[in-house]
Structure 1
Amino acid sequence: MNKVKAYLEEVVKEMRKVSWPARRELISNTGITLLATLVISLFIFAVDRVISQVLEFIYR
C-alpha cells in the first residue's frame, strides 16, 4: 500500500509542474484537431470509394 501512496504523491507533484494551455489556446487547438480529423476522414472515404470502384470494375 505504501508503494501506491508514494506513486500517487509523485503523480500529484508532476501534475503541478504541467504547463496547462490557456482557454483560448485550448479551443483553437481543439478546432484544428477536429478540422484535421474531418479532412483526413473525407480523404480516406474518397480513396476507399475509388479503390472499391476500381476493384468492382476489375472483378466484373
Structure 2
Amino acid sequence: MLAIVLMMSLGVLVAAAVAVYVAYPHRGEEMPVAPQLGDAMRKGVDALPTLEDSESRV
C-alpha cells in the first residue's frame, strides 16, 4: 500500500513540474513565485541535446 502511495505521489510531482515548466519558462516568462526555479528549469532544458529542423527532415 505504501509503495502505491509513493508512486502516485511521484507521478503527481512529475506532472506538476511539467505543467509549471510549460506554463512559464517554456514560453519565456518568469515564474511569479520562484523565479530561481524557472531559471534552473530553463538551464536544465538548454543543456539537453535537441534536433535541428535540418536534421529531422530526411
TM-score, normalising length: structure 1: 0.43
Structure with bigger helix share is: 1
Which one has a bigger Cα radius of gyration?
A: 1
TM-score, normalising length: structure 2: 0.44
- Greater RCO between the two (CA within 8 Å, min separation 6)? 2
